[in-house]
A and B are shown apart, each in its own frame.
Chain A
Amino acid sequence: MAKGAKLDFNQDVQPILAANCFSCHGPDPEMRKAGLRLDLEESAFKKRPGHPDAIVPGHPEQSELIKRIESTDSHHLMPQSPQGEAKPMKPAEIAVLKEWVKEGAVYRPHWAFDKPVKPQPPATSEAAVWGNNPIDDFVLARLKKEGLKPSPETDKATLIRRVTLDLTGLLPTPAEVRAFENDKAPQAYEHLVDGLLARPTYGEHRARYWLDYARYADTYGLHYDNSRDIWPYRDYVIRSFNANKPFDQFAMEQIAGDLMPSKTLDPLIASGYVRLGVSSNEGGTIPEELRANIARERAEAYGATFMGLTVGCAVCHDHKYDPTSQKDFYALTAFFNNIQERSFNNDRPVWEPMVRVPRAESQDAYNRVWARRSELAQRVRDLHLQQRDLVGKWLASRASLPQAVSTDKLMLRLRLDEGGGDELKNSAPHPQQASFPIGKSKPQWGETTWLWPDFRMETSTRIQLGQTGDFDTNQGFSSGGWFMMRSAPNYTSYAESGTLLSKMDSTQHNRGWDISIEHGILFVDLVNEGSKDLMVHKKADEKEPEPKNAKEVFQFPTPTDLTAQDLAPNKSKVQKELEKKSQEKKPAKKEDKPAEPKPPLDTTPLMAIRVSTLDPFPVDGKWRHIFFTYDGSGKAAGVRLYVNGVPVATNVVSDTLGQATIKNQAPMLLGMRSPDENPARETRYQDIRFYGRAVAPEETRRLPFEDYVAEVAGKPSGQWSDDEWHAVSQFYFDSIDKEAKDLESQIGALDAQLDKLSEGGALTMVSWERPSIAYAHVLTRGIYTARTERVEANTPHFLPPLPAGVPHDRLALAKWTVSADNPLTARVTVNRMWSEIFGAGLVETTEDFGIMGQRPSNPELLDWLAVEFRESGWNVKHMYKLMVMSAAYRQSSKVTPALVAKDPKNLLLARGPRFRMDGETLRDVALQSSGLLVAKIGGPSVKPYQPPSVWEQVGIGGSDTLNYEQQHGETLYRRSMYTYWKRMALMPDMDAFDAPMRDVVCTRRQRTDTPLQALVTMDDVQWVEAARALAQRVIKEGGKQPEQRIDMMSEILLAHDPPPQMAAVLEGSIAQMEKHYTADPKDAAKLLDVGEKKSDASIPAPELAAWTMVASEMLNLDETLNK
């Protein structure tokens, strides 16, 4: 630190306090010792009874903090490890803290949480001779402070190679190099840069980085690790960079594209971002655990990529360093928790919600309809935004006010809104029993919200409702309520079976009544004597057979007409063969299975009424109001079924009850027919009722919503909770508001057109918001069962709040992310751009701008860039151009030992950036230099060469990524970003070069140097084949003389002629190799046979083999591997 300068709290003091003190004296109250909190000014100076003052500003000698860190008594000495061992601070750190207290112990807010203000570029005398744009002013001032000087500009050849690699991920051609070298115009470099930014390869290269930040992969990452079809998202990213889509738009589309108005499908495709994380369908998966993990992963990924914060540290407890509280974290997960989806994926390559991307030829027609739909959907959203006004007006107008349903003979009403406890209350006016005990296996409360926070039965939950509903055949009665059917993993719609409500005695031929669901079809039974085999559902441990005509029905945006083919895992040919074989073998194996006790068929005659619905329900995770009425006639015609208050067509399966009794002694049961039966798996319930009368059709219409809304409307609206508002407005828009109803029906018609127009297109997973309010629960220690506080989606409390009056959904989050007040997004984004170009971010910890993250090496420059980015209209190309136009970027990368010692990572930029390229770029460069590279953008991922049994070694039988089936032809030579990305077994060549698994977000790759990398570039068939193709190219095009060929190779790979010393080594090498292969033509032939591309037979084999080895030498040079 310069003499006389005051300490900067953020730069000098806070890092020391954070590293040494905050774990016990920081934001986390659980860990706090002696009631001392040092991260906040107000608490650091607070008097603590019985404790000396921690900090006395101006007086280090009176400050306990200083006394403790200087103490010679090891019991007294701070800091201490959690195990109570003293970990003394460094003298330099102690000196800083003393000086800080002496200077008055001034606190400042954490730098990254303050909105960046554009600083004036510093003026230095040296700026007159060095520098091209404001970046350089900042770099220069920083270097001056350190007593360093910038390096001279690098030569043109190095520069064009560097900038072409940085902007396109590929090499300049020798012709381009020559043209640039000969272009003496002052604007030559700028023209070059503009040309590179305009190339389609620019978008590919940028997208390649973004896919790490977005954790894009082609498999879902756990257990079966099956394929996941979401490559249209990848192509969207490429398109966006190439179109120079403003970054705010780009970010918003990914976070909330499904909620944005748009003229094309792109924003919806982009919203697949949210769903790129890992998922599972492991058989025993507990859906809630998976759901909690998925929401958590999304919040962490969002936190790292858009906020630059390690929010995940607050999963278990308040963040130990940052102000992110546990509540902040779960409020953030809530945004990502409100998608119309199931957490498990049924091992399918796509699972809802998804959309079909129209084929090129129907794209225009599709987009026209899409734009119209989007406009209408936006109008619906606008209406919803005015809900409070509209509902107020409606209620004030006193027209068509909500009417309650008569409570006459209402004997049971289970609201199921207790939210906990040991019993369920019966809120009916004349209950036969006032409450019912919950067994020892507790239900799940409040996972989602419908009329109110909901109730879900675990498979082992048992709810007995006593003798309520003990009615006989000649008495009218009605029952039903709200239900949400939800499958557990491995159970699809046709297996979605179980009893919803029953009063039936399974020991007495199933006498009684019930309402049940089988394969999505609803049944109401009134039984005197039933056939066991007709009536009893499967036991839990038996897998339901798939009925022949089972068909799933989907909801928009998922196409409604998906076939089994669309949903089938992408098995390879090998697997299909194997499975076919094992299917054929199966019958022989039967005796191996443990004999299942199979009782003989029970053919007892059926005396019952059985009425069913005609069509199965879609598998959509939606709430449905299911209700039946019975008129006491003893006839099937006396049974009516209602779904959402509307009578539905029914089928009479049996009508043989007559006047036989249905009375029985068994208890009424929720969710099952008999206590030893599999309950309706994973089903949610709300407002379950039993009436001792046949409720009239006019009343059933009002049961789902209106009755409840009437109840809410009885209170002044000022007292309504958010959930009550939601229920009332949902009713209002569904039933009262003509415009909304009209819009919804128009949208429905357009959806059908869109379905048609997208036929034959590729499916891709997207986000689709649920209509309900986005909530999450704070989980104690992150344990999914340990729910505490219920929190609404919200942004962290220490950052600017969401605007008042907007729904807290992903759209609000998206807008907030790129709002002018957000201090983080612009900084975090330009910092990553900087790290792509310069090798390390201005903040090295690109994922952590929090208290424990690195301090910016040049804070003013970072802020200048951040504000410039926003003010430019989030212009991405503008920012890259600024960076590569800077003199800092154009410096020579020659370095002296002294400079290495002072700035080993080149954070200060006294020299130009030079570092080993990422694995993808290396492979692309090898393919490009040899002429093998296929320039084709986008499409499904490809499977080039891979060593044998990389997948097979780790996979599970039945997975569609068990066998790697290498493709052929041009797919072998596509850019590496198109290579199929299997999370549980990375492509090993990329793995060797530090490619992340992408099972969690990665905002900066490691850059190691290992022998395994040398093995890849020397031995991998792709590299050997590339070397041979490169050799062939220089033999045919380079000239007859070895020097000419060596020159050409060097020009291709290094953009310059080889210096004499290097040429000498290579010429010696070619002589040696030629001698070897001439003497051993068999070896030559073998070498030429590597790879699928045939070698040119017109070249003598020994010659080509020898040159192949020299090309391999060139490809393995340090200079080739570095940019």
Chain B
Amino acid sequence: MKQHPLCTDTEQASHVMDMAIPAEMKQEWARLQTRRHFLGRSGKVLAWAAMASLLGGRALRGDAHGPAYGQPGASDKDQFKLPNFAPKAKRAIYLFMSGGPSQVDLWDYKPGLAALYDKDIPDSVRGSQQLTGMTAGQARFPIAPSHWSFKRSGETGTWVSDLLPYTGRIADQLAIIKSTNTDAINHEPAIMLMNTGNMNAGKPCLGSWLSYGLGSMNDNLPTFMVLQTKINTHEDNQPVSSRLWSSGFLSSEYAGVGLRSAGDPVLYLTDPDGVDREVRRNMLDAVNDINRQTYQELGDPETNARISQYEMAYRMQTSVPELADLSKEPKSTWDLYGPDAREPGTFAYNCLMARRLAERGVRFTQVYKRGWDMHANVTRTLPLICGEVDRGCYALVTDLKQRGMLDDTLVVWAGEFGRTVYSQGGLTPDNYGRDHHPRCYTTWMTGGGVRTGITYGETDDYSYNVVKDPVPVRDFNATILHCLGIDHNKLTYNFQGLDQKLTGPTPASVVQGLLA
């Protein structure tokens, strides 16, 4: 496996006792080394990285919010041997398509529907499904065939909509899942379910589970970063919220950290006007000096942890601007990602940034792209949003591949549900709307651990029900964890007496057909 120069993973970093850190920290390190859960992670240096990282001392001391010292439940961490098996992917990038992309216009090719224009979708297909409050009262459910043609792409001959010409070029590298399905029919519960495995608030998201379970791979950037794509006024941008990157009942250290395209890339990162690096260094030296005195006086280990966090903050102040500085990217990068990528906050820019984060050892990056919620005006809006997203997806996957990183980086593209094949509101030959559709939608994965060049699962002739190989959200998440070397049944956290896990209480299974 090729080692990335900036990725300080297990094999390369220097030994903790050789590092320029306070003696007290070394003592703490020595003490911690004797703790089984600590060594349970793969090796001491990874653990050091965790100690110095955002995970901070807390993860090491094992006193995240939950079962306490010497109490039942605390034993869980001892059994925690992650990764559970050799991971294919070390890191993941999740391109989240908020709002619910229309599978029938993008991926789920149903040429037979053209003949059924404006015919009612048969009752037998719809069954007794509870619809959203928006179309439940609709008298008719007229079929709206896709306005766009599909083309066969790549050697696999995968059908891809004309709306995604760039993504079509990488079709051979994707595992396209046509049978993803969810239990929720409205945005809030569905987006929560997709991101946290539960429709109600309070549960940790995928990224937090990964941070908690795998820890950091670098010592100057957060483990889990979140990028928002700038919103456009022509789209109906359903909201997102910090709930989606929240750590729930896990310690809040595992929450996603926003990497912003406007203002400070990380909140409060930039020194105030009139404070240069030298002043900051001097100020920190004074603070650390006095804090060391405080430690000597009071002996509180938290004081030492604070010293190391202030140092980490200082390092972030250097590493993050370096990360956000794209001036050294070669022309080939811009040729690949296209002109949009030069504008901070666009989807293409975020894809490029996601690659840079991956290079620097960020474990999990989630890019949110909103605007897929098209209850009306699909023919006007869908091309616009596809135009924003298409090239970035292609460029990211291609870039990772060119750099040899695709083998150990998992890339996921998914929304929270699909859209109805019947039209919401008026149907005309030129336009239609589509309501939320939970029973089937298309997602894709590629990279580490994923069997590529396949289409997984099938839907019926109406792109309404899954007829083969359904992938419920919990299986989808179990598969993501698997690619990262985690058995979803073993990445647990004892909260309120239950071994909580991302996939929830209903049995979930890894979708073997998606694995390389």
- With contacts A954-B239, A1010-B56 taken as known, whether A678 is within 8 angstroms of B137 at the C-beta atoms is yes
Interface-facing stretch out of B107-115, B300-308, B354-362, B398-406: B300-308
Stretch at the interface among A593-601, A694-702, A936-944: A593-601
* Binary interface encoding of chain B residues 235-278 relative to chain A, with 1 for a CB under 8 A from any of its CBs, else 0: 01111111100100001110001101011101111111111101
Contact A440 B123 (CB under 8 A): yes
B137 and A459: CB pair below 8 A?
yes
Q: Mark A1087-1123, 1 if CB is under 8 A from B, else 0.
A: 1111000000000000001000110110011110110
B residues near A1018, Cβ cutoff 8 Å: 268, 271, 280, 283, 313
A1019 contacts B269, CB within 8 Å? yes
In the assembled complex, the Cα of A460 lies from the Cα of B127 at a distance in Å of 12
Establish whether residues B310 and A1014, one from each chain, have CB atoms under 8 Å apart when the complex forms.
yes
CA distance A855 to B275 in the complex (A): 50
B residues near A82, Cβ cutoff 8 Å: 489
Shortest A316–chain B CB gap in Å is 7
Q: 1/0 contact trace for B481-499 toward A, CB 8 Å?
A: 0000000010000001110
In whole angstroms, how far apart are the Cα atoms of A285 and B187 in the complex? 9
B186 pairs with A1009, CB closer than 8 A: no
Q: Which residues of B contact A593 (CB under 8 A)?
A: 376-377
Q: Does A83 contact B (CB under 8 A)?
A: yes
**CA of A22 to CA of B302, assembled, Å:** 36
CA distance A46 to B92 in the complex (A): 52
Q: What B residues does A224 contact at CB under 8 A?
A: 239
Cβ contact within 8 Å between A984 and B274: no
Question: In the complex the two chains form, is A914's CB within 8 Å of B299's CB?
Answer: no
A949 CB contacts on chain B under 8 angstroms: 260, 262-263
Q: Taking the complex as formed, is B26 at the interface, i.e. its CB lies under 8 A from any CB of chain A? A: no
Q: How far does the alpha carbon of A292 sit from the alpha carbon of B260 in the complex, in Å? A: 37
| Closest CB in chain B relative to A1097 CB, distance in Å | 16
Q: A900 within 8 Å of B by Cβ?
A: yes
Say whether, besides A460-B131, A681-B137, A1118-B306, A855 and B71 are in contact (CB < 8 Å). yes
**Interface contact B435-A284, CB-CB below 8 Å:** yes
Asked whether B139 lies within 8 Å of A678 as measured between CB atoms, the reply is: yes
Q: Are the CB atoms of A1117 and B287 closer together than 8 Å?
A: yes
The distance in angstroms between the C-alpha atoms of A950 and B260, with both chains bound, is 9
Q: Which of A83, A1000, A1083 contacts B276 (CB 8 A)?
A: A1083
Q: Give B192 Cβ to nearest chain A Cβ, in Å.
A: 10
B57, chain A: closest CB distance, angstroms: 7
- Least CB distance, B105 to chain A, in whole angstroms: 15
The interface bits of chain B over 422-439 (1 if a CB of A lies within 8 angstroms of the residue's CB, else 0) are 001111101111011000
Stretch binding the partner chain, chosen from A809-817, A820-828, A1060-1068: A1060-1068
Contacts of A1011 in B (CB 8 A): 54, 309-310, 312-313, 316
Identify the closest chain A residue to B289 (Cβ): A1065
Q: Cβ of B10 < 8 Å from any Cβ of A? A: no
Separation of A489 and B130 alpha carbons in the complex (Å) = 16
- For residues 112 through 161 of chain B, which have their beta carbon under 8 Å from a beta carbon of chain A? 123, 128, 130-140
Please state if B279 and A1076 are interface contacts (CB–CB under 8 Å).
yes
Surface stretch bound by B, among A647-655, A865-873, A955-963: A955-963
Q: Is the CB of A997 within 8 A of B428?
A: no
- Give every chain A residue within 8 A of B280 (Cβ-Cβ): 1018
Q: Which of A994-1045 contact B (CB under 8 A)?
A: 994, 997, 999-1000, 1006, 1008-1016, 1018-1021, 1024
Q: Report whether A18 and B72 are in contact in the complex, using a CB–CB cutoff of 8 Å.
A: yes
Give which listed residue, A15, A986, A1072, contacts B72 with CB less than 8 A: A15
Please, which residues of chain A bring their CB within 8 A of the CB of B130?
286, 458, 785
Selected interface stretch from B290-298, B329-337, B387-395:
B290-298
Which of the listed residues B251, B276, B278, B310 has the most CB atoms from chain A within 10 Å of its own CB?
A: B310
Which single residue of chain B is at the shortest CB-CB distance from A955? B239
Complex contacts, B30 vs chain A, CB 8 Å? none
B201 and A947: CB pair below 8 A? no
User: B513 near A: Cβ within 8 Å?
Assistant: no
Is B267 touching A984 in the complex (CB atoms < 8 A)? no
Please give, as numbers and ranges, the residues of chain B lying within 8 Å of A223 by CB-CB distance.
187-188, 238-239
Nearest A residue to B423, CB-CB: A594
Q: Which residues of A contact B436 (CB under 8 A)?
A: 284
Q: How far is the CA of A285 from the CA of B64 in the complex (A)?
A: 36
Contact (Cβ within 8 A) B496 A894: no
B292 → chain A, closest Cβ, in Å?
9
The distance in angstroms between the C-alpha atoms of A900 and B75, with both chains bound, is: 20
B303 touches A1015 (CB 8 A): no
Q: Does A382 contact B (CB under 8 A)?
A: no
Does A594 contact B286, Cβ atoms closer than 8 Å?
Answer: no
Give chain A residues whose Cβ lies under 8 Å from the Cβ of B79: 87
Interface bracket on B? 35 or more
A594 touches B271 (CB 8 A): no
Which chain B residue shows the least CB distance to A982?
A: B241
- Hey, which chain B residues are within 8 Å of A679, CB to CB? 137
Q: Does A479 contact B (CB under 8 A)?
A: no
**A1087–B279 Cα gap in the complex (Å)?**
12
A947 pairs with B267, CB closer than 8 A: yes
Q: Is B200 an interface residue (CB 8 A)?
A: yes
How many residues on the A side are at the interface (Cβ–Cβ under 8 A)? Answer: 142
- The answer to whether A541 has its CB under 8 Å from any CB of chain B is yes
CA gap between A330 and B135 in the complex, in Å: 30
By a CB distance below 8 angstroms, the chain B residues around A488 are: 133
Choice from A289, A1062, A1076 contacting B293 with Cβ under 8 Å: A1062
Which DSSP category, helix, strand, loop or mixed, fits chain A's interface?
Answer: loop
Question: How far is the CB of B47 from the nearest CB of chain A, in Å?
Answer: 18
**In whole angstroms, how far apart are the Cα atoms of A992 and B252 in the complex?**
9
B65 within 8 A of A: yes
Please tell me if B58 contacts chain A, counting CB pairs below 8 Å.
yes
**Chain B residues near A1083 (CB-CB < 8 A):** 274-276, 279
CA distance A1105 to B257 in the complex (A): 31
The yes or no answer to A897 lying at the interface (CB within 8 A) is yes
**B327 CB-CB contact with A under 8 Å:** no
Contact B239 A959 (CB under 8 A): yes
Q: Does B383 contact A (CB under 8 A)?
A: no
Q: Are A594 and B289 in contact (CB under 8 A)?
A: no
B185 within 8 Å of A by Cβ? yes
Q: Which residue of B lies closest to A783 (CB)?
A: B183
In the complex, residue of chain B having the shortest beta-carbon distance to the beta carbon of A442: B128
Assuming A284-B134, A541-B138, A1113-B283, is B497 touching A1090 (CB within 8 A)? no
Pick from A285, A541, A999, A1113: contact of B202, CB below 8 A: A999
Expressed in whole angstroms, the Cα–Cα distance for A1008 and B60 within the complex equals 13
Residue of B whose beta carbon sits closest to that of A1076? B279
Q: Is B460 an interface residue (CB 8 A)?
A: no
Please indicate the chain B residues that have their CB under 8 angstroms from the CB of A16 in the complex.
72
Most chain-A CB neighbours within 10 Å: which of B185, B286, B489?
B286
- B505 interface residue, CB < 8 Å from A? yes
Distance, CA A681 to CA B306, complexed state (A) = 58
Contact, CB under 8 Å: A1090 / B274:
yes
Residues of A within 8 A of B425 (CB): 541, 594, 596
Q: How far is the CB of B22 from chain A (nearest CB, A)?
A: 13
Chain B residues whose CB sits within 8 angstroms of the CB of A984 once the complex forms = 239, 241-243
Q: Does B63 contact A (CB under 8 A)?
A: yes
Contact, CB under 8 Å: B187 / A459? no
Q: Check A969 for interface membership: any CB of B closer than 8 A.
A: no
Alpha-carbon distance between A768 and B275 when the two chains are bound, in angstroms: 56
A978 at interface, CB cutoff 8 A: no
Q: A999-B202, A1118-B306 are in contact. Are A540 and B72 (CB under 8 A)?
A: no
Given contacts A19-B72, A955-B239, A956-B237, contact A1109 B138 (CB under 8 A): no
Question: For chain A residues 446-467, which have a beta carbon within 8 Å of chain B?
Answer: 458-460
Q: Which residue of B lies closest to A321 (CB)?
A: B497
Q: How far is the CA of A592 from the CA of B242 in the complex (A)?
A: 34
Give the chain A neighbours of B140 by CB distance below 8 A: 676
The verdict on B443 contacting chain A, using a C-beta distance below 8 Å, is no
Q: Interface centre among A893, A959, A1119, by most B CB within 10 Å?
A: A1119
In the complex, A718→B35 CA distance in Å? 69
Known: A851-B497, A1089-B273. A90 touches B283 (CB 8 A): no
Given contacts A285-B132, A984-B242, A1014-B310, 4 further A-B contacts (CB under 8 A): A23-B498, A592-B380, A956-B239, A989-B268
